[in-house]
Amino acid sequence: MEVLVTGGAGFIGSHIAERLVRTGHDVTIVDIMEPYYDLGLKRRNIEAVESATGDGGSVRVVEESVTDRASLDELIDGTDVVFHQAAQAGVRASVEEPLKVNSYNVVGTLELLDAARKEDVDRVVMASSSSVYGKPAYLPYDEEHPTQPVSPYGVSKLAAEHYARVYYEIYGLPTVSLRYFTVYGPRMRPNMAMTNFVSRCVHGEAPVIYGDGSQTRDFTYIEDVVAINEQLVGDDGADGEVLNIGSTDTIDILSLAKTIRDAVDPVLELEFDDPRAGDAQHTHADVSKATELLGYEPVVGIRAGVDRFIAWYRENRDWYDPLVRAS
């Protein structure tokens, strides 16, 4: 199939693209190569996708913004399925630059949906986020939980989801929005709690916890996220729907820091700093809707996933570790 992966030079998009190329699909990546984090990491992501081409599929990479409609129209011509991962990710970036986030995440999504509608693509699979929920009225979040985002990023993801639903209801464009809950694994974005903890511990420094560490998170391993996206190449069981994509269990940030510290260097202390603006206190997914509609069953638990990530980090430290890269 002809597949378009927006944001395919990023963490999640490159893993989706890599899997699809490996399974024989012809993939086009469109990515603006936003220097929000080190572009060297994005080039590595693209190399990983390119190295999968030996198995049958192909990849071409186009450096462009999804807000550029003329390019989008050209790229989407002949596309069967779109995996829309392009966004200015991250709550903190959105607090700093809310207008840019609106342009990329909302306007960019609308342009993409409109181009997809005109080209009659089979499906647009959208990366949404647990950030749409905001403050919990109850936990775990199911998809009926009120949505009251507490950051410009959460607002942008919610608006994008609504556009996707409306394009399905009004124009019949098949769309599925996946509300990811903190995704982690090899090649993950730097400057997230997990990478910061591992990075500091491997350098013999205490991991720094923002707030008291009582915040809880569903950490979802990248393989579980890739698997559900891959399934949606041909599965129409969730068209028009919004689904939580979370993990098997939650963990509080203090326990995560301790788990990583104990695995890497148990003698290290823990450090605490002020909480970050816009961060949700708790995220916890009820994934029963995704299980019911698509048979979604996350398989990688947090301890196994953390061990795998630490092992990968050690093997790839020379190019991935921010301190090694800076030296």
Ligand X SMILES: NC(=O)c1ccc[n+]([C@@H]2O[C@H](COP(=O)([O-])OP(=O)(O)OC[C@H]3O[C@@H](n4cnc5c(N)ncnc54)[C@H](O)[C@@H]3O)[C@@H](O)[C@H]2O)c1
Block residue for tokens 């009004």 = 170
Q: How far is the CB of 194 from ligand X (least distance, A)?
A: 9
Catalytic residue among 37, 104, 133, 153: 153
Helix (H) or strand (E) holding 109: helix 108-119
Positive or negative: CA dihedral 62, 64, 66, 68: negative
Looking at residues 185 to 244 of the shown chain, list those that interact with ligand X (rule: CB under 6 A).
Answer: 189
Q: Which of 3, 4, 6, 278 binds ligand X (CB under 6 A)?
A: 6
Q: Which of 22, 25, 29, 67 binds ligand X (CB under 6 A)?
A: 67
Looking at residues 8 to 47 of the shown chain, list those that interact with ligand X (rule: CB under 6 A).
Answer: 9-13, 30-34, 42
Q: How far is the CB of 197 from ligand X (least distance, A)?
A: 15
Q: What's the CA gap between 218 and 249, in Å, rounded?
A: 6
Q: What's the CA gap between 7 and 64, in Å, rounded?
A: 10
Closer CB to ligand X, 20 or 32, in the complex: 32
Q: What's the CA gap between 141 and 66, in Å, rounded?
A: 30
Q: How far is the CB of 287 from ligand X (least distance, A)?
A: 14
Q: What's the CA gap between 49 and 134, in Å, rounded?
A: 34
Q: Which window, 54-62, 86-94, 193-201, 227-235, contacts ligand X (CB under 6 A)?
A: 86-94
Q: Which window, 1-9, 144-152, 168-176, 229-237, contacts ligand X (CB under 6 A)?
A: 1-9
Q: Which two tokens stand for residue 278?
A: 């816009």
Between the two ends of the chain, the Cα-to-Cα distance in Å is 43
Residue 88 makes contact with ligand X by CB under 6 A: yes
Residue 280 makes contact with ligand X by CB under 6 A: no
Q: What's the CA gap between 49 and 13, in Å, rounded?
A: 10
Q: Which window, 3-11, 133-141, 195-203, 289-297, contacts ligand X (CB under 6 A)?
A: 3-11
Dihedral, 252, 254, 260, 261 alpha carbons, nearest 10:
-170
CA 269 from centre of chain: 30
Count of alpha carbons within 13 Å of 287, Cβ hemisphere only? 24
Looking at residues 118 to 177 of the shown chain, list those that interact with ligand X (rule: CB under 6 A).
Answer: 127, 129
- 153: annotated active-site residue: yes
Residues that bind ligand X (CB under 6 A): 6-7, 9-13, 30-34, 42, 65-67, 85-89, 104, 108, 127, 129, 180, 182-183, 189
Could you list the active site residues? 153
